[in-house]
């Protein structure tokens, strides 16, 4: 059983629906909100203020001296 109040329950259900995670159980609704909270914390810890448009992503990660 979920311990969420009605508002959080509705928010979790909406989130699950938008993500296509419609087979999650009642107790998983709490997990979904936990995930949202933790992901927000981690997103906030990404120091994007140091990035400039010239900073390219390590899309294909290679180290100096290595030839794939």
* Tokens 């995670």 sit on residue: 21
Binding residue for another protein, selected from 3, 14, 19, 26, defined by CB under 8 A: 19
DSSP 46: S
| Nearest-approach distance from CB 25 to another protein, in angstroms | 6
Binding mask 20-39 for another protein (x = CB under 8 A): xxxxxx--x--xx-xxx-xx
**Opening angle at CA 30, ends 10 and 11, nearest 5:** 20
How far is Cα 62 from Cα 1, in angstroms, rounded to an integer?
Answer: 47
Positions that interact with another protein (CB under 8 A) = 19-25, 28, 31-32, 34-36, 38-40, 42-43, 45-48, 50-51, 55-68
């Amino acid at each position: 059983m979920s311990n969420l109040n009605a508002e959080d329950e509705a928010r979790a259900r909406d989130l699950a629906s938008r993500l296509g995670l419609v087979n999650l159980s009642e107790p998983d609704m709490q997990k979904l909100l936990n995930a949202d909270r933790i992901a927000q914390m981690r997103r906030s810890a990404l120091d994007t203020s140091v990035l400039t448009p010239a900073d390219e992503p390590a899309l294909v990660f290679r180290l100096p001296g290595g030839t794939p």
